[in-house]
Amino acid sequence: MTELSGGALDGLVTLAGLAGLPERPASLLISVNYFGTVELLAGLRPLLAKGTDPAAVAISSNSTTCQPGLDEDLIASCLEGDEEATRALAGDGESLSTYPVTKTALSWWVRRHAPTPEWAGAGITLNAVAPGAIETPLLQEGRDHRRSGRSSRRSPRRSAATVGPRRSPRCCNTCSVPTRGSSAARCCSATAAWTRSSAATTGHDPGGLMATHDELDAVEQIKKLKARYFRCMDTKDWDGFQAVFASDATMDTTQEAPDLEVVTGAPQIRQFVEARWAGRHGASRTHARDRDHVTHYCARDLGDAGLPEDARGLAARREEPRGLGSLHRDYELIDGEWKIKTLLLTRLRRDVELA
């Protein structure tokens, strides 16, 4: 292939595969449909990296969305990468139920690898197409096999892959494109579990940032954490307030009050805020936030446009300073729960109104 291509590939579509049939060994489909495909993709990736706007398309199947009772242990074994062990697990029995297993595993493999430095990082888009019935020898073989239950005839369909990977939009990556139904929810769930497991094992997040679905979940959890921070402070729930901080968290208010020191430790932060909140009744407000990144281990907030505001009563409030500024926070994921790691108070404006 290196010689025929001149050392570079612009596009790759892995169309080869076998249909599941009663007399065809399941282990054969494991080797051809899954391991043969992923090894070909991985083996030709260096040639794609040298191509012009390179793209690869793997062929999944709409059977992944409608076949009940998929063997998830067999799918997991495929993804672990041990072909011999997976073939032994599949056995030499019928392969009708093995076909969607191989296609599901392939879709998940694509989702795992497409956003990595080796693929997306090298400028290679990698997607999977899950077509309906298309006039191919594989489909005809199923029709001709009376015991397979595939006697229906459908009009020929044009797969997204027939358009060619080079015509796919460059912004489309890591996708499994179905023509009927979708297994995206299960795919995302499994990919998220794998990404968390990999990050915990290797000590880093594959590809740098979180996958989108994980990031959105983390952002939502952090938003709830911020809400608890203000609610607990306003209601003087000091146990709850302390719980939003990491045990070794720091609070820095030295820009506002240079005579104070940085407070370290969740209990100490609680005591610091509780002492200064004594006798006050708060009505905190927070506005636009700008979070610059979220990974599996930490997140950073660039600040809120508003700060807690004393609300002891209109007359008393007119004698109090009113400040606007930002609370810059770093967050850390600890035992599956987001906590505030650092908090820095800065002022943008400070007004004093006298009665």
For 271-298, what is each residue's pLDDT tens digit? 998 888 777 666 665 554 545 555 555 6
* Integer Cα distance of 269 and 304 in angstroms: 20
User: Of 30-39, 77-86, 88-97, 309-318, which range is least confident?
Assistant: 309-318
Q: How far is CA 162 from CA 141, 143, 153, 310, in A?
A: 20, 22, 21, 65
- Kindly state whether residues 218 and 180 are assigned to the same domain: no
Do 294 and 304 form a contact (C-beta atoms < 8 A)? no
**Last residue of a domain, which of 194, 223, 255?**
194
Structure-token pair, residue 51: 């191509």
Secondary structure letter of residue 353 according to DSSP = -
Can you say whether residue 123 is alpha, beta or left, with left for phi > 0 and alpha for psi between -120 and 50 degrees? left
Average the pLDDT over each of 71-75, 82-86, 226-230, 244-248 and give the range with the smallest value: 226-230
Answer whether residue 46 shows pLDDT above 90.
yes
Same domain, 228 and 300: yes
Distance CA(158)–CA(180), nearest Å, equals 13
206 found inside a domain: no
Structure tokens at 230: 């203000």
Asked if residue 152 is part of any domain, the answer here is yes
Output phi, psi for 316, to 5 deg.
Answer: -65, -35
Stated pTM of the model:
0.48
Number of domains in the chain: 2
Told to judge if 331 belongs to the known catalytic residues of this protein, a careful annotator would answer no
Q: Are residues 123 and 49 in the same domain?
A: yes
Dihedral, 174, 47, 121, 215 alpha carbons, nearest 10: 20
On whether both 169 and 240 belong to a single domain, the answer is: no
User: Among 42-46, 126-130, 154-158, 349-353, which stretch is predicted with the lowest mean pLDDT?
Assistant: 154-158
Instruction: Return d(Cα 159, Cα 129) in angstroms, integer.
Output: 8
- Average pLDDT of the chain is 75
Phi, psi (deg, nearest 5) at residue 315:
-65, -50
Q: Are residues 95 and 154 in the same domain?
A: yes
Identity (one letter) of the amino acid at 181?
G
Length of the chain: 355
Kindly state the tokens that stand for 105: 């595993």
Contacts of 120 (CB under 8 A, 6+ apart): 114, 126, 173, 174, 207
Which one is catalytic: 99, 229, 297, 331?
99
Residue 300 structural domain: 214-352
